[in-house]
Chain A
Amino acid sequence: MSSTIEDEIVRDVLQRHQGLVKRIETKRRGRVSIEAEKDYIVEIALYLRDKRDFSQVVSATSFDAPDGDSYAVVYCLWSLSHRVLLALKTSIPKEIPRLRSLTPFFESANWHERETHEMMGIQFEGHLDLGRLLLPEDWTEGFPLRKTFRLQG
């Protein structure tokens, strides 16, 4: 049993979701990053939650992927019992910015997804309340964190 918990997680995920994972790596102690197709994100997250106690969504980031016509979405999941932070990455096409929501399964993903929706315009399917969170009620300018949105300065 010389392998660390990070290696075990990587092995598990690779075994279970052989074809779905595009890339998986451990950068350093306590960090795992998984890149997967957008349709399998929920599946992998649920598997991690049930088997490895990744029960909290700590952060959700989204940005214009530097190369190509897609948005990258990164969820950070935290496992309390293993003390491992897992980055779950995916990319979705710019024409149809839709992704299955994690909120029905992770209550903590709620506001993170709302914010991502507001700032990047990504539709989370299955999310019950994607209302305004941070921007003014009468905001009509689009999605501030997209690269197409330019500041006036």
Chain B
Amino acid sequence: MRRNSYRRRTHAIWHSILSICDFLHHLRRLHNVHTDLCNGFHLSGESTPPSDNCFPRGGGRRGSMLVAIDGRSTMTINRVKCMAPVRKLLDWGRLSSLWPVHIATGCCSPEEMALVSPRYDVERFGVLPLPSLRQCDLLIVLGLVTHKMAKRLKLIYEQMPEPKYVMAVGACAVSGGLFWDSYSVVKGIDKVLPVDVYVPGCPPRPEAFIQGIRLLQQKIRRERKN
């Protein structure tokens, strides 16, 4: 009996927040994917404050694009048929300056602190943590994501400007990990967001983090060729 209700709940969530994630899975960035997944997402319950204008909520009120009037989050500069060296330069800039957004979702966040700390100093590769998501291009999901956080995570992803990348760090972010049978943990964030790099481990060592970042850089380098 409970199993049924669980399934119902999962469906409810899939319909409310994960509506189109399934086919987003195998799509790559810059294929004119419209990532506006927020339609029909509402916060409810007593403890929710009235929505404010801090960050626009919901699909309809999404900030408009400067360059793409039809709401597509693609950039003109990518559409312009520019010469190969220029494209190469742009790619180089993008891969060597990945700014991760500060969002802590689970227990891998101490390891992220270790990542920016003197021993592993990830700024060597141009990864500079920034406070505001509006300036960032890399969403590092640190560990488990609860259903409560999943909505916010999607919102955060929504509000980051293109091109953006997602790195799933930790067994929980990859598949649910230790909490695979929990009632409140999302089993893998690829149900919510399109993920570029998976870094397994519980929690992964900072070296693994760095490898993940290097893999992402390789991926960006290859992306345009395909």
A–B direct contact (CB < 8 Å)? yes
Q: Which of A's residues lie within 8 Å of B, judged by CB?
A: 131-132, 135-138, 140-141, 144, 148-153
Pairs of residues from A and B, 7 with the lowest C-beta to C-beta distance, nearest first = A153-B181, A137-B45, A136-B148, A150-B2, A151-B181, A152-B6, A136-B147
Please measure, in the bound complex, the distance between the C-alpha atom of A128 and the C-alpha atom of B4, giving whole angstroms: 34
The interface residues of chain A lying within 8 Å CB-to-CB of B53 are none
Residue in B5, B44, B47, B146 whose beta carbon sits within 8 Å of that of A141 in the complex: B5
Known: A150-B3, A152-B3. Is A138-B181 also a contact (CB below 8 A)? no
Interface size class of B (residues with CB under 8 A): 20 to 34
- Least Cβ–Cβ distance between A18 and chain B, in angstroms: 44
Known: A141-B5, A141-B6, A150-B2. Is A136-B184 also a contact (CB below 8 A)? yes
**A136 adjacent to B181 (CB under 8 Å):** no
Please measure, in the bound complex, the distance between the C-alpha atom of A148 and the C-alpha atom of B2, giving whole angstroms: 8
Interface residue B120 (Cβ < 8 Å from any Cβ of A): no
**B45 adjacent to A138 (CB under 8 Å):** yes
The interface residues of chain A lying within 8 Å CB-to-CB of B148 are 135-137
Residue in B43, B46, B47, B180 whose beta carbon sits within 8 Å of that of A153 in the complex: B180
The interface residues of chain A lying within 8 Å CB-to-CB of B44 are 137-138
Interface residue B51 (Cβ < 8 Å from any Cβ of A): no
The interface residues of chain A lying within 8 Å CB-to-CB of B48 are 137
Closest residue of chain B to A133 (Cβ to Cβ) is: B47
Please measure, in the bound complex, the distance between the C-alpha atom of A151 and the C-alpha atom of B9, giving whole angstroms: 13
The interface residues of chain B lying within 8 Å CB-to-CB of A150 are 2-3
A-side interface mostly: loop
Closest residue of chain B to A132 (Cβ to Cβ) is: B47
- Least Cβ–Cβ distance between B123 and chain A, in angstroms: 36
Interface residue B183 (Cβ < 8 Å from any Cβ of A): yes
- Least Cβ–Cβ distance between B187 and chain A, in angstroms: 10
Interface residue B78 (Cβ < 8 Å from any Cβ of A): no
Please measure, in the bound complex, the distance between the C-alpha atom of A51 and the C-alpha atom of B2, giving whole angstroms: 47
- Least Cβ–Cβ distance between B153 and chain A, in angstroms: 13
**A141 adjacent to B181 (CB under 8 Å):** no
Residues from 1 to 28 in B contacting A, C-beta threshold 8 Å: 2-3, 5-6, 9, 16
**A152 adjacent to B45 (CB under 8 Å):** no
The interface residues of chain B lying within 8 Å CB-to-CB of A140 are 9
Please measure, in the bound complex, the distance between the C-alpha atom of A132 and the C-alpha atom of B44, giving whole angstroms: 12
Interface residue B182 (Cβ < 8 Å from any Cβ of A): yes
What 5 new A-B contacts, CB under 8 Å, besides A141-B9, A149-B2, A150-B3? A131-B46, A132-B46, A136-B45, A136-B146, A141-B5
